[in-house]
Amino acid sequence: MTERGTREANVPAMTTMRVQRRRMPAEWEPHAATWVAWPHNAETWPGCLDAAEREFRLLVEKLSASEPVHVVVQNAEHARHVHEQLIPLGTARPIQLHEVPTDDAWMRDIGPTFVEDAETGLLAIDWIFNSWGGKYPPWDRDDAAAGGVAAQAKVRSQRVGLVIEGGALEVDGEGTLLTTESVLLDPKRNPRVDQAELERQLAELLGVRHVVWLEGAIEGDDTDGHIDEIARFVGPARVVCAREPDARDPNHAALERCRAQLEEARDARGRALEVIDLPMPPPIEADGARLPASYANFYIANQTLIVPVFGVAKDAEALRILSDLFPGRAVRGTPCRTLVRGLGSVHCLTQQQPALRHGPES
């Protein structure tokens, strides 16, 4: 067994006992903290990095109202810059800075996936990251980020031989995984792993007993179809699915297909899924290109639900629907019109650390 903050070897052989002893908690379960990485890559937000930082600061403020926030920064100089940005917030809960160099800020994809392990408590799964199939070199610092975060969190990590991003994984905490074929079965990610082998390894690593495979991606999504832009669990056997009623919109057909697949699906306990429509915002563009704006990219914090909003009329409808689904949480919109120019928003920028053993509680 390795020490905390270090990496294990590749995926061990699956056993029935091991599957039962691993569990990836649902996002609505209690968090010890949220991890984020402060935006710093001017190529991701060309000509608008300052505006992206301002929106990101508002996101951190909303997060810190609900739970401790751990912010990854590049170096000591960057830490001073971020500290200056955070001073005006005056948040009640602690915001801690950690020096973990990254190529970009998409913590959902570059950070670890935290799971519950009956033997060791909290465990950080450290996937291989290859920049969504090799799209944006270099990515060596992003690939090392999960291990760095685990070390800072003082959580044991396990490096595995699969290329997977956290935005491709949506679980109910009861053994069901939602994902898309275009991402997990992408030959540019895992060319020698077929569907059966992938499901076997996900069972071993995450305690997943049943995978619901969807087809589709929204316009502008450079991840090839991350599930967190399309469909999300909002409770056991309950899913919201982004929907575009305008048949002329390029997103219409793909989202209708995903919705139909969800209506035919069952969860790990054999239950049919209740599928709830979540509107799409109108097309949002930058430099003539469609951006992957989606209200499904929300984040479930301990006391709040944080939803990307884009300054359009549909914002209010999306917030109302999600408020009805999360009566125990305050639903808060956070501006993402600039952040989404980097091709992601709230969920893409966050990673939850479950409130289990072997991790910081404040």
For the chain, the residue count is: 362
Residue 359: HSE in the Cβ half-sphere, 13 Å Cα cutoff: 29
Inter-CA distances, 222 with 58, 264, 343, Å: 25, 27, 7
Residue at token pair 């999300």? 232
348 is known as an active-site residue = yes
Residue 327: HSE in the Cβ half-sphere, 13 Å Cα cutoff: 1
Q: Which of 194, 183, 201, 192 is nearest to 132 (CA)?
A: 183
Q: Which two tokens stand for residue 198?
A: 């992938």
168: left (phi over 0), alpha (psi -120 to 50) or beta: alpha
Residue at token pair 């057909």? 253
Please report the sign of the dihedral spanned by the C-alpha atoms of residue 24, residue 292, residue 224, residue 129.
negative
**C-alpha 65 chain-centroid distance:** 20
Q: Which amino acid is present at 191?
A: P
**Which residues share a beta bridge with 35?**
70, 351
Output the furthest CA–CA distance in the chain (Å, rounded): 55
Q: Which of 48, 241, 258, 348 is catalytic?
A: 348
Give me the active site residues, please: 348
